[in-house]
Structure 1
Amino acid sequence: MIFEELELPGLFRVAPEPHTDERGFFARTHCESELSERGLIGRFTQSSVSFNHRRGTVRGLHFSTAPHAETKLVRCTAGAIHDAVVDLRPGSPTYLRTALVTLSAANRHALYIPAGLAHGFQTLSDDAEILYMIDRPFVAAAADGVRWDDPAFGLTWPEPITVIAPRDLAFPDWAGR
């Protein structure tokens, strides 16, 4: 696997290293020891799938609060998404800055998202499916979020928004916390 640290500390794009032959290829997409060797969490206790019917769907920006803050490894297994991550760690040198990454079934990249970052995405295709590997069980009482259009983050979504959940529309701006 190839690890590329992105502009937010601890945020990595993880690309497979395919071994090819006449049949196609084989590639590792997760390895606990390779993650651990880099000081990253490598053990994930839960997997979840997000399936989205329509291009332009926005989900997020979501995070879980301490002590249930989650580290995730996110991969798009069908279609494509515009992934957005916001640093909400108060002591971080990149506090409130964003990172944007395209994940797709075609590029097979994953995004390693450490605890303390908010995460969301917009689908760039119909029938987009996203696989989440999460380091701890979900705790509903710790689930939180901030607005997808919060001016503090300056996010621009590449597509017109076609679908967004009422819950995501109701999240407050970060400054209002």
Structure 2
Amino acid sequence: MPKVLGDSRGWFMRTYSKDRFAEIGHSKEWVQMNHSYTALKGTVRGMHFQQPPYEEIKLVRCIAGSAYDVIVDLRKNSATYLQWFGAEISASNKQMMYIPEGFAHGFQALTDGVELVYCHSEFYTPASESGIRYNDPKINIQWPLAAIELSARDQQHPLL
């Protein structure tokens, strides 16, 4: 979690430091930043990833509202293959989610008006874009709310 320094004026936090990220093995450059807005509580976006050789690392931060952020390990030789992890990220808790290469990513809006900012280690490559179904029974992600407002694309991602 970023260290938040506050006083009567407000607060300050560093969201990226090359040397601190090197401590966890991150050496890639951030090449693209995206910002998403999700209007309605319960909306699910995901589970997205890019196929090799365009696999990407993501760093996701919530700057408005609250989201349940989820990652799924898709690395076939991993001890945590097909396991998922989810955590609340919000403007108030200032948590961020680091998503390694080989993981699918998605989130559910826990409030109306959720905004996320994403850093990416690879450029968006439409021909490499892929996904898995948000409700795949083989993974069994426990979303906190009933899922609403899924895109047609997200509803049609394949089951494993």
Q: TM-score range by the shorter chain?
A: over 0.9
- Of the three residues 11, 23, 26, the one matched with 2:12 is 26
* Structure 2 residues not aligned, in runs of 5+: none
- Of the three residues 85, 88, 99, the one matched with 1:102 is 88
- Of the three residues 46, 54, 57, the one matched with 2:43 is 57
TM-score, normalised with respect to structure 1: 0.87
User: Structure 1 stretch 26-35 or stretch 71-80: which is displaced more?
Assistant: 26-35
Please name the residue that 1:45 is paired with.
Answer: 31
3-state SS, counterpart of residue 89 of structure 2: strand
3-state SS, counterpart of residue 33 of structure 2: strand
Deviations 1:15-38 (A, max 9, x none): 111222222221111112210132
Please name the residue that 1:67 is paired with.
Answer: 53
Structure 1 segments of 4+ aligned residues over 4 angstroms from their partners: none
- Of the three residues 66, 82, 107, the one matched with 1:80 is 66
Aligned-partner Cα distance in 2 for 1:72–1:172: 22
Please name the residue that 1:118 is paired with.
Answer: 104
Residues 80, 123 of structure 1: 8 Å contact kept: yes
Please name the residue that 1:127 is paired with.
Answer: 113
Aligned-partner Cα distance in 2 for 1:162–1:151: 18
Residues 36, 42 of structure 1: 8 Å contact kept: no
- Of the three residues 117, 142, 153, the one matched with 2:139 is 153
Aligned-pair distance for 1:42? 5.2
Deviations 1:29-80 (A, max 9, x none): 1112210132113520100011111111100000100000010000111000
Identity of aligned residues (%): 39
TM-score, normalised with respect to structure 2: 0.96
